[in-house]
Structure 1
Amino acid sequence: MTKLLTDRQTAEQLGIGRSTLWRWLSQGKAPKPVRLNGVTRWRAEDILQFINEAAAAIAT
């Protein structure tokens, strides 16, 4: 089963504030969340992939 994260948990994983997460989302810089019954969540694997891709981009 896929683990889903709240905006608070997602921001914590990324080391940013919640407002930065929402700003990045509006700018197309953050992974797209899923919406279930009016609740917004991020897939944990999407966040991990985002972190790994960002780290790889910095390394090159």
Structure 2
Amino acid sequence: MMLLPPAARLFTVYRRLKISLVLQPLVICYVNYQRVKLNTQLKDGDVISFILPLTGG
């Protein structure tokens, strides 16, 4: 669990987790199981999920 300041946005989580600028476009993020943009404002109790699509061949 991560404590965030009031009115934090999703990009605050990216910064706290130190997700590289190079990887940001590749990481799919969901808040409360819905795909959202980085400027989405978070509320107390939101569930944040990250998915990094992988391919193989």
TM-score > 0.5, shorter chain as reference: no
So what's the TM-score if we normalise by structure 2? Answer: 0.33
